[in-house]
Amino acid sequence: MFVDSHVHLDAPEFDADRVEVIRRAESALITRALVVASTFASKELESVVRLVEQFPWLDVAVGVHPHQAGLSSKEDFERLSRFVKQKQIVAWGEIGLDFHYNHSPRDVQQDVFSQQLRLARDLELPVVIHTREAETETLQALEDDWQDAGLPGVLHCYSGSWELADACLEMGFFVSFSGMLTFPKAAHIREVASRVPLNRLLIETDAPYLAPIPYRGRRNEPAFVVETAKALCQIKEVSLEEIAAVTSANYFNLFRRAQRGSESGEAE
């Protein structure tokens, strides 16, 4: 039994066959997945909730991605906070900093990131962190606005340094690895994964992006998370069954609002 701790099932890439993708995940023994909303618009968020109501083994995270930081407002954060209180939302994210693409100005990203860390603290939700080419600034924000919250979080789709991962592990974070773990040129990611304790590891697809080998070049989907699990069991020199069990347990230790009793993979 496997989990996909980060997937964008609401993305337009799945519009033509979303239900079929979910059914293939069930057939691949994916028993839990976190749907990270690709938008913070009300109408689209309601459609994500309807999807989760149809498939109760799916969970939801909401937040403002750093790419969208420049489009957000105080009213958006107030609305998202109300939404979290009304719905079964298990995490705030993905949030963070992306200084590679800079789709939003860096100072705006930093301000929006800090605002959301404080909101997540108030709502007692774990955070899903996106960080790219902004390690110093990401760590500073976490130290300023999160470190003493007593709440966990996850560095999602991790491709950064061991130093940042280690500092975040000290704060109680988990580290999640995607299909990049299978890429031939990703030796540095595999090295970091080898150093993360088993009880802090997660696996994800980040679908529809970053399909693992042997699916590279195709649209990614939750069923493919098994390939990342296989890569991780080679790195950690443990069985696939142990990786499946450990990462599943870690998922529930992180996302404590997820309901263990509804992980059968069957729709209501």
Task: For residue 113, give the CATH number of its domain.
Answer: 3.20.20.140
* Domain presence at residue 36: yes
What range defines the domain where residue 47 resides?
Answer: 2-262
C-alpha distances out from residue 208 to 18, 217, 225, Å: 11, 11, 12
* Domain membership flag for residue 120: yes
Are the C-beta atoms of residues 232 and 33 closer than 8 Å to each other?
A: no
CA angle 113, 120, 252 (to 5 degrees): 115
* Cα 175 from Cα 158, distance rounded (Å): 7
Cα gap 149→123, rounded to integer Å? 11
Is 223 within a domain?
A: yes
pLDDT at 28: 97
Total-model pTM: 0.95
- 221 is a domain residue: yes
3-state secondary structure string across 123-148: HCCCEEEEEECCHHHHHHHHHHHCCC
User: Which pLDDT value is given to residue 88?
Assistant: 86
**Tokens 């337009």, residue located:** 12
CA–CA distance, 51 with 55 (Å, rounded to integer): 6
Residues in the chain: 268
* pLDDT for the residue numbered 266: 41
- Determine the 3-state secondary structure of 113 from DSSP: helix
Do the Cβ atoms of 25 and 52 come closer than 8 Å? Answer: no
> Could you give the CA distance from residue 64 to residue 84 in angstroms, rounded to a whole number?
13
- 268: in domain: no
Q: State the pLDDT at residue 267.
A: 35
Q: Please check whether residue 267 lies inside any domain of the structure.
A: no
Taken in order 64, 66, 72, 74, is the CA torsion positive or negative?
positive
Mean pLDDT of successive 10-residue stretches along the chain, which has 268 residues: 97 97 98 95 90 94 97 94 92 98 96 98 97 98 97 98 98 98 98 98 98 97 98 98 98 90 43
What 227-234 contacts at long range (C-beta under 8 Å, 24+ apart), as own/partner pairs, is: 227/179, 227/182, 228/177, 228/178, 228/179, 228/181, 228/182, 228/203, 228/204, 229/2, 229/203, 231/181, 231/182, 231/190, 232/177, 232/181, 232/193, 232/201, 232/203
Return the structure tokens found at 261.
């009793």
Bridge partners (DSSP) of residue 174 are 154
- Indicate the number of domains in the chain: 1
CA atoms lying within 13 Å on the CB side of residue 209: 11
State the virtual CA torsion across 232, 193, 259, 22 in degrees, nearest 10.
-50
Burial of 230 (0-12, 13-18, 19+ CB in 10 A): middle
